[in-house]
Amino acid sequence: MKWNSIRTKLIVFMLIATIIPIVATMFVTYLYTTQSLRTRAVQENANLLYQGQRNLAELLSDLNRSSSTIYSNAELFRLLEGGYDDPQSSSRVYAALSYISTSIPDIYQVYLYENVNRRATLLTLNTPKRHYDTDPYEDILLNNDRSLTVQKTHMSHIYGFAPIQPNYPPEPVFTLHRKIEKVPSSEVIGYLAIDVKLSALTEIVEHLYEINHEKVYILDQNGAIVYSDDESQLGLPLESDWYNEHIAAASKLHGHFEQDNNVFIYQRLEKAGANWVLVKQIPVSYLNEEANKAVTINLLLLAISLMVIAGATIFITLRITAPIKQLNRYMNQIQSGNLNVDIQPASNDEIGAVMLRFRSMMDTINNLILREYKLELANKTNQLRAMQAQINPHFLNNTLQIIGTLALELKMPRIYALLSALAKMMHYSMHNEDKNVTLRDELEHVKAYIELQKERFENRFQFHYDVDDSLLDLPMPKMILQPIVENYFKHGLDRTAWNGEVMLFAKRLRRGGQVEIVVQNNGAQIPEIRLKQLQEELSDLSPATIHQPVNDGDETSRPSIGLANVLARLQLVNGDNAALAISNLDPVGVQITLIIPDQDRSGV
């Protein structure tokens, strides 16, 4: 295919337009996923390390309480303070040390040195040993400036005792050292050392990381390793830049950072003489493992998508260009007119030819449109003249007045009265610009309407009204009362009876700022089901409901258009301060109540 062919360009451009967004989306998704996974992993592991720090603090607190029993055991403290030299006292010392060694399951051995008697006692897994007239073991005096310290992890030893049976093999331990002071003074009367097996830390730490994928360290204040899954590192200083740069120099209790393709999360612990920091090392590759799997799957999907897209692109391009080529042939046949405009095509492909020919066709079409526009303008002028020749409503109103005058001259006052009532109604309805009127205007309109209905129904009903004169100037929307009264003649009037009655009352309510207008009749009641439906529909009334067309001519499918229109226009002018209620009267009749704001007193 040639490059200047529209097919070639469409295929290339559509492939670019689909491949680039997909690849960009995958790249952005991968970055977002890895960042989200890293953020979530940091948060989860920070919470995990915090819980691990709580468990370590609880272990150290238990060790501290166990070592403090030296002070709470009054008999033992008296013996350490004053010295002893009898088997019974020795048994008490052994019993106290045995209690300490069994207080926590992972205690390996307990060492006690008495300054007064210069005696040392070692209890290893309930096996006692004793030295007389000896100096305290050198490790005891390393932190003599503090009353309570925790020694870093080291291999267990026998505190200078000669090997005796049974001989236990050494194992990694960390040691809690306590100076025993003669309170309240600071005189040292002894030393206590408790060796705790590393398994005590392992039980806590092994829940904090994935073995073979992650690493966890417990470091003391000097950077020495208290715990590591590599036992060869125990007790040795950690020689790593990330510790010296981000943890040793930091003062925060917890935090995280990334270095050397690893994410480090740390949590400090200061408890019972221990100043430790718990560090977790997570390789970035392990964090991104799930994201990498997702990328692999996406690459497979991308390869499949590209094959589908390429096939669809070629197919669609052929389908698109074939009509254009055909259109080019058709345009050569149907082209007509004088082409004087020099239009240069934008390119040398089919689109360029279409542009040149399409412009010539547009010139012709524009000429046709201009002719059609003039013709349409002439038609509109003729229609306007025809409309002007139609009978004007004002002409009808004037004609009714002429006929009424003639009826009065012929001594037919009833005909004159009816024509006057009809003329009033027409005059009232023709003034559409008067959207708001007064209650007096509405009442006069209702009277004219009633006058015509009396003649229609042969005076089978009576009309009564009671309106306070102070309400006659009350402003209200136009054509509000007449549609309500009209419902009586449509649905409620008994044409066989002569005692029909329509009543209209208007009064101010005691609650300020409202006027109540009530229209009652003694006609047929509304069926309860229909009444309930009508009340619900009026309560949910909206402009869409009012203008919704009636289906199949069934006006029972929605509320009365007159009542709906009345309520809608009242609420349009007065908002939620206006209301319309409809109810049956007992034993017969229907009552419709309007509530509108009393604008004369609305500011009171």
Q: 312 Cβ partners below 8 Å, 6+ apart?
A: none
Q: What is the mean pLDDT of the chain?
A: 78
Task: Give the pLDDT band of residue 182 (cuts 50, 70, 90).
Answer: confident
Q: How is residue 429 written in tokens?
A: 């309805």
- Check residue 126 and give its pLDDT: 82
Contact 122, 158 (CB under 8 A): yes
User: What count of other Cβ atoms lies within 10 Å of the Cβ of residue 342?
Assistant: 5
**Three-state DSSP class for 77?**
helix
Contact 131, 160 (CB under 8 A): yes
Q: How far apart are alpha carbons 263 and 255 in whole angstroms?
A: 11
User: What count of other Cβ atoms lies within 10 Å of the Cβ of residue 591?
Assistant: 14
User: What count of other Cβ atoms lies within 10 Å of the Cβ of residue 217?
Assistant: 25
Q: How far apart are alpha carbons 84 and 77 in whole angstroms?
A: 11
Who has greater pLDDT, 544 or 508? 508
Who has greater pLDDT, 467 or 541? 467
Q: How is residue 424 written in tokens?
A: 């009033």
Q: How far apart are alpha carbons 373 and 379 in whole angstroms?
A: 10
The vertex-258 CA angle with 257 and 259, nearest 5°, equals 125
Domain locations in the chain as residue ranges: 73-200, 335-388, 469-548+555-597
Who has greater pLDDT, 400 or 168? 168
- Check residue 109 and give its pLDDT: 92
Contact 123, 101 (CB under 8 A): yes
Q: How is residue 552 written in tokens?
A: 């199949």
Fold of the 469-548+555-597 domain? Heat Shock Protein 90 (3.30.565)
CA dihedral sign of residues 451, 453, 457, 462? negative
Which amino acid is it at 569? R
Task: Tell me the per-residue pLDDT of 485-500, one tens digit each, with 9 for 90 and over.
Answer: 988 888 888 888 888 8
Task: Give the pLDDT band of residue 394 (cuts 50, 70, 90).
Answer: low
DSSP letters, 89-118, are HHHHHHHHHHHHHHHSTTEEEEEEEETTTT
Q: Which of 533, 529, 513, 538 is nearest to 592 (CA)?
A: 538
Residues in the chain: 604
Residue 542: φ, ψ to 5°: -140, 165
Q: 467 Cβ partners below 8 Å, 6+ apart?
A: 439, 443, 504, 505, 506
Burial degree of 555 (CB within 10 A; 0-12, 13-18, 19+)? exposed
Task: Tell me the per-residue pLDDT of 336-350, one tens digit each, with 9 for 90 and over.
Answer: 544 444 445 555 666
Question: What pairing do the DSSP bridges indicate for beta strands 225-227 and 475-477?
Answer: unpaired
Rounding to the nearest 10 degrees, give the CA dihedral for residues 499, 504, 483, 443: 120
Q: Which of 527, 526, 522, 525 is nearest to 460 (CA)?
A: 522
Q: What is the DSSP letter of 242?
A: H
Q: How is residue 571 written in tokens?
A: 């609420």
Burial degree of 544 (CB within 10 A; 0-12, 13-18, 19+)? exposed
Q: Which CATH number fits domain 73-200: 3.30.450.20, 1.20.1260.10, 3.30.110.70, 1.10.3720.10?
A: 3.30.450.20
- Check residue 592 and give its pLDDT: 93
Question: What pairing do the DSSP bridges indicate for beta strands 107-114 and 187-197?
Answer: antiparallel
Task: Tell me the per-residue pLDDT of 230-241, one tens digit each, with 9 for 90 and over.
Answer: 888 888 888 888
* One fold for 73-200 and 469-548+555-597: no
Q: Which of 399, 397, 403 is nearest to 416 (CA)?
A: 403
Q: Tell whether the model's pLDDT for residue 474 goes beyond 60.
A: yes
Q: 162 Cβ partners below 8 Å, 6+ apart?
A: none
- Check residue 517 and give its pLDDT: 94
Looking up tokens 């009826």 gives 407
Average of per-residue pLDDT across 570-588: 85
- Check residue 330 and give its pLDDT: 46
Contact 155, 172 (CB under 8 A): yes
Q: 597 Cβ partners below 8 Å, 6+ apart?
A: 513, 514, 515, 574, 577, 578
